[in-house]
Amino acid sequence: MRKVIPINKKLFFIGISLILLAWLSLDDLVDDWGQIEGAPEKLQTFFSEDLLPPDWSVLEAEVWADGSLHKPNGDVCDENIELFCSKAWTGMVVTIKMAFVATLIGFFFSIPIASLAANNMAPLPIAMPARVLLAGLRSLPSIIWALLFAIALGFGPLPGILAMTLYTIGYLGKLQYEAMEGVHNAPLESGLAMGLTHSEQLFHVVIPESSNHLLSQLLFMFEYNVRHGAVLGLVGAGGIGMYIDNYINPPFDYNKAFALLIVVFVVVVIIDLISMLIRSFVTEEGDVKRPKWWSVILPPSMAVEMYSKKEEE
């Protein structure tokens, strides 16, 4: 009789094998480990001399020679609160608007494409081209899309919006068709038996069944686009990233750039908390048993066995 290896030991062996494989890959990629020497001292010098303390003047309106307050674009500041005329505020507002528009447009375009890419929604001759399209859109990072649009359209928010929209379609579309493929077959078969068309199945069966996943993916993509909106400005795609780009180039105001990065971090944390609050209204009850995250690395038979034991408990 074949000896059965306990699951915990199998997990241990799998983990050790993955760590060993990662180490061998790292050793093959890194030729000179001497690069690490002196890195802590260099970072300490950079932080102490260039980044710290952050220059919070980015939260203030620009003061002209006549003493008047102005926005970064040169308009007179008519706001009662000076913060609303600062580079941090105006740049962050533009970035959030760009991310919102791109995420919303990308979401509505990705839904129909994802439905064509899902194996349980479309035949293979249709699903494969749809998947290739989504893969092509997300194969280029959003910053490359932004660079191409900046060359074609010039600097400003529009190249950034178009870049984030295309990447959102590709990235969100993949997550969506995977969520759609997770829908149980019974509702789909019932829809086919009732004679529902593809679009009717999408809107009346698939989207309601996978709505929690779709909402979570939408909120994640918005947060992602806000974060990457700060990066797109480095190629002239508008938003707070344009101010960061100005500060990390000569004459190198790194402490101001660091202050803007802190602003981006705070905004992303706030968005994440709001997303968590929104998701809390639609998530399932907490007593629903779910597989552990690490079950994805197990063979299917082992994962099913572990989940079955958990349900019995």
Residue type, 62: E
The answer to whether residues 207 and 115 touch, using CB atoms and an 8 Å cutoff, is: no
Q: pLDDT category, 105, cuts 50, 70, 90?
A: very high
The pair phi, psi for residue 62, each rounded to 5°, is -75, 135
**Distance in angstroms (rounded) separating the CA atoms of residues 230 and 95:** 7
What was the pLDDT predicted at 286? 46
pLDDT band at 101 (very low <50, low <70, confident <90, very high): very high
Contact predicate 173/221, CB 8 Å? no
Answer for the pair 69, 62: CB distance below 8 angstroms, yes or no: yes
In 3D, which of 60, 45, 49 has the Cα closest to residue 253? 49
Domain ranges of the chain: 87-280
Percent of the chain with pLDDT strictly greater than 70 = 74
Residues 6+ apart with CB under 8 A from 310: 289, 291
Residues 6+ apart with CB under 8 A from 250: none
What is the CATH T-level fold of the domain 87-280, as seen in this structure?
MetI-like fold (1.10.3720)
Choose between 227 and 21: higher pLDDT: 21
Structural tokens at position 112: 């129909």
> Which tokens in the block code for residue 210?
């996978």
What is the C-alpha end-to-end distance of the chain, expressed in Å?
28
